[in-house]
Amino acid sequence: MTTLLKSATIIDTSSPYHKQTKDILITDGIITKIDDSITSKKEYQIVELDNLHVSNGWFDTSVSFGEPGYEERETLQHGVQVAAKSGFTDVAINPNTQPIVDNKSAVEFLINKVKGAATNIYPIGALTQQSKGVEMSEMYDMQQSGAIAFGDYNKPVSNDNLLKIALLYAQNFNALVLSFPKNNAIAGEGVANEGKNSTLLGLKGIPALAEEIQISRDLFLLEYTGGKLHIPTISTSKSVQLIKEAKKKGLDVTCSVAVHNLFLTDDELHGFDANKKVNPPLRTEQDRRTLIKGIKDGVIDMITTDHNPIDVEHKKVEFSTAKDGTIGLESAFGVLNTVLDIETIVKCLSDNPRKRFGLNNISIKENEKASLAIFNLNESYTFSEKNILSTSKNSVFLDKKLKGKVYGIYNNNQLILNS
């Protein structure tokens, strides 16, 4: 099949066509020609859309779908369709299924279930058996079967020695270890950021210290062991500073931030809307600004949706008892496009995560594989339930004004567009 993208503005700092508007011809999944104007033929699949932009396909490093075990929240087949229509050519799947992804058979199940889809999935294996934080999982076997990193989703490793051993062991096969930044002893039964709003609302607070003391511990361990550490979804100003200092020391550490922590604060909690209950929690305006600065300064390496579908039975309940989590794939670009420039968005959604998680580098050049996110930078709208593609509807962004529309992707010789 031959596909022709007409008048597409290319966003790719590694491409000679960066910020240029070109026609792009793709044959059998390979970019065969990029020119000012390419004559179309009747057998071509033509893509001609308003304010058409393309970048390297986006890679989300923290996605939960549910299957196996929680298919009512999201199946793998439907989940990758949502990801594709949201601009993501690649997603890393968290191990928080039932059973937990802590062995090679579970990894192989995920990969085989959606083989041939337009969006690629890359399993993250659990760091510990059943994500219980007691014994290390079969990391090497999982890596051989396709796992790209190891971490217990949204569960901290409280055993210091276990994380130390994992960081040492992982170096034998160059594996990336993830450590969720939360000290449960300090966070206690908290459900919201500890501060003015939690006090006013009578909600038990999660101090910023719970995150920061865990990051400090992780960085001390990394300095001792060596190895590669990724800290997902940081949320406080002090966390940014700690990671900045660690990088200056030369430690091999990266971190991500969730989209919602760049856009929303704990001021959102006044309606006790359980969709606003996320982990880590929404923090203060000062934290939000520092996180954005951390991205611009290069301290924060990547942005994730931290997409986590939760069924209505676990969200339409009292705030304090609701499950943490928000969906985020379909709203990610519209949110980020309101707070960051497009080059930074692409760097944090594509270039940096690919490099860190060991995916192949891609570029929009002739004779390269076509792996493209396709979008419109300018369209503004209010995010509503009709914009939700996921099976679960637990979006923290409902009724928020966003800017930027995703048309879809081209990847694996497949064009997927929103209808």
Q: What is residue 210's three-state secondary structure?
A: helix
In whole angstroms, give the CA distance from residue 143 to residue 171: 12
Summarize pLDDT for 164-210 with one digit per residue, the tens.
999 999 999 999 999 999 999 999 999 999 999 999 999 999 999 99
Q: Which domains does the chain have, with CATH numbers?
A: 2-53+366-417 (2.30.40.10), 58-357 (3.20.20.140)
53 with 7: CB under 8 angstroms? no
The pair of structure tokens assigned to 136 is 């290390």
pLDDT, residue 1, reads: 86
- Which residues, other chains included, contact 47 with Cβ-Cβ below 8 Å and sequence gap of 6+? 3, 4, 5, 6, 8, 374, 415, 417
Q: What percent of the chain has pLDDT over 90?
A: 99
Please determine, for residue 107, whether its predicted confidence score (pLDDT) is greater than 80: yes
In whole angstroms, give the CA distance from residue 413 to residue 189: 48
Please determine, for residue 382, whether its predicted confidence score (pLDDT) is greater than 80: yes
Strand ranges, E, within 152-233: 176-178, 192-193, 205-206, 228-231
The pair of structure tokens assigned to 274 is 């359980």
Does an H or E element contain 258, and which? Answer: strand 253-258
Nearest to 87 by CA among 62, 58, 51, 47: 58
pLDDT, residue 304, reads: 98
Please determine, for residue 58, whether its predicted confidence score (pLDDT) is greater than 90: yes
Q: Is 23 a catalytic residue?
A: no
Summarize pLDDT for 237-258 with one digit per residue, the tens.
999 999 999 999 999 999 999 9
Please determine, for residue 419, whether its predicted confidence score (pLDDT) is greater than 80: no
Please determine, for residue 397, whether its predicted confidence score (pLDDT) is greater than 80: yes
Task: Find where tokens 């509807």 sit.
Answer: 393
Q: Which one of the listed residues 306, 311, 324, 399 is annotated catalytic?
A: 306
Does an H or E element contain 263, and which? Answer: helix 259-263
Cα 173–Cα 174–Cα 177 angle in degrees, nearest 5 = 110
Quick one: pLDDT band at residue 61, thresholds 50, 70, 90?
Answer: very high
Nearest to 336 by CA among 393, 385, 377: 377
